[in-house]
């Protein structure tokens, strides 16, 4: 929802520490590089420069000489890229649990929209702060956010130290008629892009038109044109439920949502489509032809009874697919490891085929695939990429035995969990240590969200 103007938010807890500006070599037991070959490196050295980018990864025995000012850290367990969440509404920690059991449109109109109408920038700051800590502790180092109150979201996420792709929502609210509101909103989002978009930092900015059923094809096309003018990502909900677009589709001679958006030019730029549950073969071909990436939200889709996305068919068509939690009110947590496990399980039980979507495929979607969908230099432990990485404690029965690299990958996919993530770095800066988010006072954040949620629920 688009809020009325509000005063600047009260700042959440202290910003992330500056981190080391000197090179560091990390020595671990094993590394999952998550490159195209899904390389597994035993006893690796991972070198990170002072600017937060990776300069080397490989066997420690073959590592290049260290600069004189470098330090060495020993990490027990496994290192791998941080997970990439390709679709979220993280401030909705404020409404977690509300409207449980309702179908999507009733859930939105009866439970979500009334509470969101009462939100303030301060609410968003605290909801984002709590959610960012939850994400980071789960090893999620990047999140793509579609929400309003974008400045409060950006400020809080940056303070927590998480990498953000922020796509401020463009949504038509009751009472908004004519085109003036859309022009104003697009100007607002463009201003946020000019002010905050920084590919060399931890915040990038796109545009987030809600959906064709909310905005109509014309407003979606105008939003896409505004995004294209800035070479910005366009992030939109597409075909989440079977019936959501019935009126629009009927008005266009029965054409599908995907076809309507394609014909309107919405897919002509950089596009990430969330959900994409109800797609025909022609729809999949259209998305592939237009190089539209997809954010797959299996837990949310199951919780809301939306359906099962055709991920194997999308992948076979060459569509880039990332994994996503959706919001904490439709999941209801932000632990992307659940998606890593459930995405292939859902695909396999639907196809009655255990060969559909392997363990490496699932981990790739949560790392390299998500990074590609967002156009970011993360998702793999390769030189030149940002040092967004995590350490997993493998001193656990779930990671025994390992007699081959494939078994290790299987353990990560099927037994991975935020509870096993010990340490987390974003751009070379440590933000989680021994399972504790060091950038957020979580006790205070929980108390603030509880207090604010009570007000939002009662008016």
Scanning 352-404, the segments in alpha helix (DSSP H) are 359-364, 370-374
Residue 2 has pLDDT above 60, yes or no: no
The token pair that represents 330 in the structure block: 């439709």
Pairing of strands 140-145, 163-166: parallel
Q: How far apart are the first and last CA of the chain?
A: 17
Residue 131 has pLDDT above 90, yes or no: yes
Residue 82 has pLDDT above 80, yes or no: yes
> CA-CA distance, 270 to 82, in Å (whole number)?
23
Closest of 258, 315, 263, 266 to residue 287, by C-alpha:
258
Number of Cβ within 10 Å of residue 152's Cβ equals: 29
Give the three-state DSSP class for 205: strand
Q: What is the pLDDT of residue 106?
A: 92
Pick among 1.10.287.70, 3.30.950.10, 3.40.1160.10, 2.30.40.10: CATH of 24-82+382-437:
2.30.40.10
- What are the distances in angstroms from CA 417 to CA 251, 335, 435, 438? 45, 7, 12, 19
pLDDT digits (tens, 9 = 90+) for 17-64: 334 589 999 999 999 999 999 999 999 999 999 999 999 999 999 999
Least confident of 18-27, 263-272, 361-370, 426-435: 18-27
In the beta sheet, which residues pair with residue 99? none
Maximal C-alpha separation, the chain:
69
Q: What is the pLDDT of residue 385?
A: 99
Closest of 356, 275, 372 to residue 81, by C-alpha:
372
> CA-CA distance, 183 to 181, in Å (whole number)?
6
CATH of domain 83-374: 3.20.20.140
Sorted by sequence, the CB contacts under 8 Å of residue 126 that are 6+ apart come out as 12, 94, 156, 445, 448, 449, 452
Of the two residues 266 and 103, the one the predictor is more confident about is 266
pLDDT digits (tens, 9 = 90+) for 85-122: 999 999 999 999 999 999 888 999 999 999 999 999 99
Domain ranges of the chain: 24-82+382-437, 83-374
Q: What is the pTM of this model?
A: 0.95
């Amino acid at each position: 929802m688009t809020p009325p103007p509000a005063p600047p938010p009260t700042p959440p807890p202290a910003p992330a520490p500056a981190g080391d500006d000197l090179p560091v070599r990390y020595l671990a037991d094993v590394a999952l590089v998550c490159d195209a070959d899904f390389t597994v490196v035993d006893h690796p050295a991972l070198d990170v420069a002072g600017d937060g980018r990776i300069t080397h990864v490989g066997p420690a025995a073959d590592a290049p000489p260290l600069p004189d000012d470098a330090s060495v850290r020993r990490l027990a367990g496994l290192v791998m890229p941080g997970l990439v969440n390709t679709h979220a509404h993280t401030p909705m920690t404020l409404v977690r649990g509300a409207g449980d059991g309702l179908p999507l449109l009733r859930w939105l109109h009866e439970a979500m929209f009334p509470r969101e109408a009462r939100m303030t920038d301060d609410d968003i700051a605290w909801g984002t702060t709590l959610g960012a800590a939850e994400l980071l502790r789960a090893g999620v180092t990047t999140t793509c956010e579609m929400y309003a109150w974008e400045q409060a979201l950006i400020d809080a996420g940056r303070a927590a130290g998480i990498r953000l792709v922020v796509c401020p929502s463009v949504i038509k609210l009751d009472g908004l008629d004519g085109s003036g509101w859309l022009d104003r909103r697009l100007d607002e989002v463009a201003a946020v892009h000019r002010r905050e978009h920084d590919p060399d930092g931890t915040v990038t900015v796109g545009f987030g038109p809600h959906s064709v059923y909310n905005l109509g094809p014309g407003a979606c096309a105008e939003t896409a044109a505004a995004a294209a003018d800035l070479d910005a990502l366009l992030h939109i909900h597409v075909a989440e439920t079977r019936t959501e677009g019935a009126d629009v589709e009927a008005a266009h001679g029965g054409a599908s949502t995907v076809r309507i958006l394609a014909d309107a030019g919405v897919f002509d730029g950089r596009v990430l489509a969330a959900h994409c549950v109800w797609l025909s073969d022609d729809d999949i071909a259209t998305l592939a032809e237009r190089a539209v990436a997809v954010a797959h939200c299996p837990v949310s889709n199951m919780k809301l009874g939306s359906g099962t996305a055709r991920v194997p068919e999308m992948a076979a068509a060459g569509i880039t697919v990332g994994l996503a939690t959706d919001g904490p009110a439709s999941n209801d947590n932000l632990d992307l490891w659940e998606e890593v496990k459930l995405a292939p399980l859902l695909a396999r039980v639907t196809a009655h085929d255990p060969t559909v979507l392997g363990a490496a495929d699932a981990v790739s979607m949560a790392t390299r695939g998500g990074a590609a969908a967002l156009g970011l230099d993360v998702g793999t432990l390769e030189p030149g990429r940002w040092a967004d990485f995590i350490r997993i404690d493998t001193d656990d029965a779930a990671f025994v035995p390992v007699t081959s690299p494939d078994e290790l990958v299987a353990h990560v996919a099927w037994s991975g969990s935020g509870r096993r993530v010990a340490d987390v770095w974003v751009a070379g800066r440590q933000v989680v240590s021994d399972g504790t988010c060091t950038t957020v006072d979580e006790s205070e954040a929980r108390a603030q969200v509880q207090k604010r949620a009570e007000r939002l629920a009662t008016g």
